[in-house]
Amino acid sequence: MKTTTKFLASAVAAVALFFTTNANAQGPKLGIGINAGIPTTDQYNLTLGADARLQFDVSQQLSIPVTVGYTHFFAKDLNIGGANFKQDYGYIPVKAGAKVFFNESGSGLYGLAEVGAAFGVTEDAKIGFLYSPAIGYSWSSGLDLGVKYEGISGAREANPAYEKNVGHVALRLAYGFKL
């Protein structure tokens, strides 16, 4: 594993540990979500995924999310130099970040930024740097609807059919509850 990846994984773990020991008395929230998206690279048709997000509230308006899940890019049939290529790409995202609610109640419209690592699980996949800005709306009932961009740098091995970097714009539907 590269030093950068080890550092990034250690930083995510340290942030999660820090906020689990310093979270307010309400305790963390767990959100389970599904997402569907449109890839930003031509070699894929569609993305589907699922995730679990632990959210540690620092204040009513600021939370620290730690997210893990699985996302799958469904490949198109490509013909390069007379050879056909069709290779899906799947990865396990592990990321942490900051979620800011624009309403003092701790629900409603929010902005979210996360960074982490994408652990590739399909052929020619590597560990890549993952970044994900998002906007969304969270209801006090626990329902959460968001739109995110998720980009991965260095996701694939060098291959004439596929780009090394991938990304997608996805709609995420989730339900969250207090632990």
Q: Using alpha carbons, select from 112, 106, 125, 130 the residue that is nearest to residue 12.
A: 130
Q: What is the CATH number of the domain that holds 146?
A: 2.40.160.20
Range 84-90 average pLDDT = 84
Q: Using alpha carbons, select from 105, 10, 106 the residue that is nearest to residue 63.
A: 106
Range 153-169 average pLDDT = 77
How confident is residue 2, by pLDDT bands cut at 50, 70 and 90? low
Amino acid 24: pLDDT: 45
Sign of the alpha-carbon dihedral angle for 43, 47, 49, 55: positive
Q: Using alpha carbons, select from 93, 103, 4 the residue that is nearest to residue 63.
A: 103
Say if CB 56 and CB 20 are below 8 A apart.
yes
- Report pLDDT digits (tens) over 164-174: 889 999 999 99
Q: Which residue has the tokens 């469904």?
A: 74
pTM: 0.81
Question: 69: domain range?
Answer: 3-178
Range 99-114 average pLDDT = 92
The domain tally of the chain equals 1
